[in-house]
Amino acid sequence: MTFTQALPRRRTLLAALTTVAVLLATPLAALAQTPLKFQLDWRFEGPAALFLASQAKGYYKAAGLDVTIDAGNGSGGTVTRVASGTYDMGFADMAALMEFHANNPDAPNKPVAVMMVYNNTPAAVLALKKSGIKTPADLNGKKLGAPGFDAGRKAFPIFAKANNISGVQWTSMDPPLRETMLVRGDIDAITGFSFTSLLNLEARGVKAEDIVVLPYPAHGVKLYGNVVIASPKLLKENPAAVKAFLGAFAKGAKEVMANPDPAIDYVKARDGIINVDLEKRRLRLAIDAVVASPDARAEGFGVVVPGRLALMASQVSDAFGTKTRVDPAAVWSDAFLPTKAELNILPPARK
């Protein structure tokens, strides 16, 4: 073999050795990135920073995951899309997940909740002080408004039963009109997420001191709020990916709660037209009201109390009029949670 004939072979060998060297120098996580499609419950607003932080800081990637995070249009839609396989995981209201399970008993792919994030439901009734509504009892016979799929509206029978409310008349509307109709006086009160509707009312010119907020958890309704859900296919075929996601998410969420304001940059990167100051407030309100709430501190972040979950399952079955009763054991699994130390992410309580 001549030198000229051997040269291509030497080049091929050199290229192969170079490739091996690069592979050996590359972190394992970068070689085996597992793709995961994740859908939020709503638009890119303040609370989305809890999930976006780990993506921006590379925590998902370091855990071997290639995570795509998309905005949602309501918890019901997120549950349905995870059930259909369009998304692997998502963030959705526990009540919406329970409703899907109980109304679709024969569905082959019912998503499962794998981490509690909103220990308390953000649902609340909001009214303007000029309406004379100050307490839940003042809602008797009043006109309330909310989209038909609103979590607070669907759970209102539970709130009504706990507070002896009757005679309420409902008006349905698209989400952007909810607060506008309240300001115009078309309705007496609305249901919605406290940290969303409050700021939406302020954005429409209403002063904070002129708004009455009646949070469900403060008035006898201890429903769980939003959870991380996963498809049964993913849980079965790649449980390690689920564990990796939850661990990486917890790491980023801890940093966000310790210093919320800078995290809004991650949200703005996904939606450049957000009001940064407003979203900083929304994130702080969400953390204080439902993520690092007194109940979350008592129970621990990420987990559920079986008795409380069972009560919620019974309440949702009754209030939502589901086809079958909700089975709490079918909607929740703690098998994929990070260690207790990794779940110790709540910031110190404010004094």
pLDDT recorded at residue 1: 53
65-82 pLDDT, tens digit per residue, is 999 999 999 999 999 999
**What does the pLDDT average to over 166-172?**
97
Do residues 203 and 236 share a domain? no
CATH number of the domain within which 189 lies: 3.40.190.10
Of 219, 245, 262, which marks where a domain is finished?
219
Do residues 215 and 235 share a domain? no
**Can you give the chain as a three-state secondary structure string?**
CCHHHHHHHHHHHHHHHHHHHHHHHCCHHHHCCEEEEEECCCCCCHHHHHHHHHHHCCHHHHCCEEEEEECCCCHHHHHHHHHHCCCCEEEEEHHHHHHHHHHCCCCCCCCEEEEECCCCCCEEEEEEHHHCCCCHHHHCCCEEECCCCCHHHHCHHHHHHHHCCCCCEEECCCHHHHHHHHHHCCCCEEEEEHHHHHHHHHHCCCCHHHEEEEEHHHHCCCCCCEEEEECHHHHHHCHHHHHHHHHHHHHHHHHHHHCHHHHHHHHHHHCCCCCHHHHHHHHHHHHHHHHCCHHHHHHCCECCCHHHHHHHHHHHHHHHCCCCCCCHHHHECCCCCCCCCCCCCCCCCCC
Do residues 114 and 135 share a domain? no
**What does the pLDDT average to over 4-11?**
48
Instruction: Give the total number of structural domains in the chain.
Output: 2
In a domain, 237, yes or no: yes
Do residues 275 and 287 share a domain? yes
Do residues 98 and 238 share a domain? yes
* 276 pLDDT higher than 60: yes
* Tokens found for residue 215: 């949070």
Q: Which domain holds residue 244?
A: 33-120+224-331
Reported as a pLDDT band with limits 50, 70 and 90, residue 9 is low
* 50 pLDDT higher than 90: yes
In a domain, 349, yes or no: no
Do residues 167 and 295 share a domain? no
112-138 pLDDT, tens digit per residue, is 999 999 999 999 999 999 999 999 999
**What does the pLDDT average to over 294-309?**
97
Do residues 74 and 115 share a domain? yes
